[in-house]
Amino acid sequence: MRWFFVFLLGAACGAAAMFHLSGRWSVPLHGQGTRISELHAAMVGLPASAASLRHEALPAQAAGLPEAVEPAVAIDSMTASPLSEAVSTTSAAAPAAAAPVDLTKLAAPAVNGLLIPVVGVKAGDLADTFTQARGAGRVHDAIDIMAARGTPVVAVNDGHVVKLFISKPGGLTVYQFDPQDQVIYYYAHLDSYAPGLAEGQIVHRGDPIGFVGSTGNASADAPHLHFEIEILGPEKQWWHATSINPYGRFAGQP
């Protein structure tokens, strides 16, 4: 019987020890203000506030919380200048003012004595629409030559066709370089191209380019040729150049 009393005494001591430890370490997991971090604090001997810092400092995704979603940004594909229609820019900084163009370094025929590019139009029919205000704060870096739809458009000077380009603002367009690759002649809103016109093609003064129209953002009720003269930089990029006023630079008609 002695062993039985020893067993009972041992069991009683063990139960008392378990009750003591349970009372010291147990932390309720329910009730107002209770957090999982309090349990972690009690187990490692830290204040509850200190135990929660690491959890709260984690990124939302790592902490098991919904991750914030950045709003989508819509980028307008239309640009203000036809010569930059193929390039989308997102810089918020205001562009620096362009340096004045030194025309004395250009071959004289490139910017003076040009052929009027629309058949049947005389010098007296032209109007200076350069820098006229347009919608959405755009500036008109060209002159508009009004004519009936389908009127032939011809090259103002010798040169070569660099790019045939279709865009939202300009519609059907032609980019022509002069023979020295110093100047761009830009023809826009064409109804169609001249038959057989191709990129890389050599053209001469008076050669057919296309036909007057109202493609792009031009009004269907006012067909015309949008014509620009642009001075190329050293990069010789057809989409990036400096505008000069074409008005008064024509000395002949086709």
Q: Is the dihedral of CA 31, 32, 35, 40 positive or negative?
A: negative
Q: For position 244, what pLDDT does the model report?
A: 87
Residue 180's nearest CA partner among 251, 117, 110, 115 is 110
CA distance 162 to 164: 7
Q: Per-domain residue ranges for the chain?
A: 33-75, 103-252
Q: Which pLDDT score is estimated for 36? A: 38
pLDDT recorded at residue 140? 63
Q: What is the three-class DSSP state of 189?
A: strand
Q: What's this model's pTM, rounded to 2 decimal places?
A: 0.60
Pairwise CA distance, residues 50 & 170, whole Å: 65
Q: Are 43 and 60 in contact (CB under 8 A)?
A: no
Low-confidence ranges of the chain (pLDDT < 70): 1-102, 104-105, 131-140
103-252 CATH pick, 2.30.42.10, 3.40.190.80, 2.70.70.10, 3.40.50.300: 2.70.70.10
The confidence score (pLDDT) of residue 59 equals 39
The pLDDT value given to residue 12: 61
